[in-house]
Amino acid sequence: MKIDILTIFPEFFREVFDFGIIRRAKLAKIVEINIHDLRDFTTDKHRMVDDRPFGGGDGMVLNAQPIFDAIESLTGTCERANYPKGTKIILLSPQGRVFNQSVAREFADEANHLVLICGRYEGVDERVNDALVTDEISIGDYVLSGGESAAIVLVDAITRLLPHALGSETSAANDSFSDGLLDCPHYTRPADFRGMRVPEVLLNGNHAEIEKWRKEKALEKTQKIRKDLLKGANRQQSTVISQHKTDN
Ligand code: 9D3
């Protein structure tokens, strides 16, 4: 998977991909991540990346020109119909489809080249959307200062789904959300920390009982704070939940 990030703040990404699973995936050549300064694709002498909105209003709008030139340089074309197979041009914007684990899996499975365009200011010239973008994505209903932090979220969630990105100690299949439930609580030594005891069931070595306890706790937690996950809209595997009786 090749991931190119277009931004006016390349420094923002300086070290963020140099840790943990992403770092290991880079070293193993499972993913290649390149950061591009939109200013490097400007053609005017002042290297302008934005301008005032037609029709008036506050804020600035990212110019189409540097983004078109960057996409042409990265994919060979600036016509959506002509991108090589497996190419997705993703605009991070508050107007996008909301990112979740299913969308992450879709990108990890279907793409081998992602270009992430980080929006800023009041927005991006709509002709970028019209001619270039294959997917417009938001990471949730809150206001960010720009698409940069959203791009980091996508890179993390997608990279760890790529084949062989996770070591044997971790498994994507065991992750929270892969079975549609939140994770159960975890404990490690000491068994008594400042008088707070680890649940007895985890200490007795009965693995069937431990498994049952973990399922119950996961379901309890999900029921309490994320009832929406039990309602099926975000469900990726119906099997686990349908074994439980729930009251919603
Ligand atoms: C005045 C209306 N605002 C849109 C809801 C303006 C606006 C707010 C924030 C325009 C751009 C931004 C910057 N945010 C992003 O570029 C962004 C974002 C976000 O704010 N929330 C969740 N996901 C994303 S992805 C990109």
Does the Cβ of 146 fall within 6 Å of ligand 1?
yes
Return the active site residues: 94, 122, 160, 175
pLDDT digits (tens, 9 = 90+) for 61-73: 999 999 999 999 9
pLDDT digits (tens, 9 = 90+) for 76-119: 999 999 999 999 999 999 999 999 999 999 999 999 999 999 99
Residue in 38, 91, 93, 117 to alter for ligand 1 test, most ligand atoms within 8 A of Cβ: 93
Q: Could you tell me the pTM of the whole model? A: 0.92
Does the Cβ of 138 fall within 6 Å of ligand 1?
yes
Three-state SS sequence of the chain: CEEEEEECCHHHHCCCCCCHHHHHHHHCCCCEEEEEEHHHHCCCCCCCCEECCCCCCCCCEECHHHHHHHHHHHHCCCCHHHCCCCEEEEEEEEEEEECCHHHHHHHHHHCCEEEEEECCCCEECHHHHHHCCCEEEECCCCCCCCCHHHHHHHHHHHHCCCCCCCCCCCCHHHCCCCCCCCCCCCCCCCCEECCEECCHHHHCCCHHHHHHHHHHHHHHHHHHHCHHHHCCCCCCCHHHHHCCCCCC
Average pLDDT over residues 14-36: 98
The closest residue, in CA terms, to atom 13 on ligand 1 is: 146
Question: What integer pLDDT is reported at residue 199 of this predicted model?
Answer: 98
Residue in 136, 143, 154 to alter for ligand 1 test, most ligand atoms within 8 A of Cβ: 143
Question: What integer pLDDT is reported at residue 167 of this predicted model?
Answer: 83
Does the Cβ of 8 fall within 6 Å of ligand 1?
no
pLDDT digits (tens, 9 = 90+) for 168-225: 656 655 555 557 999 999 999 999 999 999 999 999 999 999 999 999 999 999 999 9
